[in-house]
Amino acid sequence: MEKEFVPYELAVKLKELGFDEPCLGFYNHQGQLILMAQEDESSIEMYKNSYVEMGMQYAAPLFQQVFRWFRKKYSWQHSIDATSDQHSFELGYNYWIWNNKTGEEYHTMPKNRPTGDWEYETHEEAELECLEKLIEIIENETKSNIN
């Protein structure tokens, strides 16, 4: 079940970016995942408020929750596509990222690589790299807005 949640290191970065959605779990200050025992909305909302106030805990969002947050808050979309290496026919994955408002695009496949080549062996690896790239994009946008 833990693989469904964003890793601790990224949860910390997401909190720094302003992620404050109610989650089914949280990480304590030692990085241990704690799942909510109660699933009613009021308990989740109470946890959300307490982790913000305490500052020592980090929301543990699911991957799809974070990707939805990036779409809603920043208009950044993503796609993870399966492809096969044209020489070995092994299955691999690439991710693409684009912004609906600005038309800006990022992708992992270098322009000089032939179509069909891939970067990541598993969907999960591509998903993690995609999320790290989205965080990096927003961090850079935030820094450029400050300067």
**Mean pLDDT per segment of 10 residues, for the chain of length 147 residues?**
92 92 85 74 59 66 96 93 71 86 72 59 92 94 80
Task: Label residue 114 left, alpha or beta by phi (over 0 means left) and psi (-120 to 50 means alpha).
Answer: beta
Which residues, including other chains, have CB under 8 Å from residue 107's CB and lie 6 or more apart? Answer: 94, 95, 96, 97
What is the model's pLDDT at position 57? Answer: 79
Could you state, in order of their start, the residue ranges of all structural domains in the chain? 2-61, 66-146
What is the model's pLDDT at position 26? Answer: 86
Q: Is 103 helix (H, G, I), strand (E, B) or coil?
A: coil
Distance CA 141, CA 105 (A): 14
Q: Is 96 helix (H, G, I), strand (E, B) or coil?
A: strand
What is the model's pLDDT at position 90? Answer: 73
Distance CA 72, CA 119 (A): 27
Evaluate if pTM is beyond 0.95. no
What is the model's pLDDT at position 43? Answer: 60
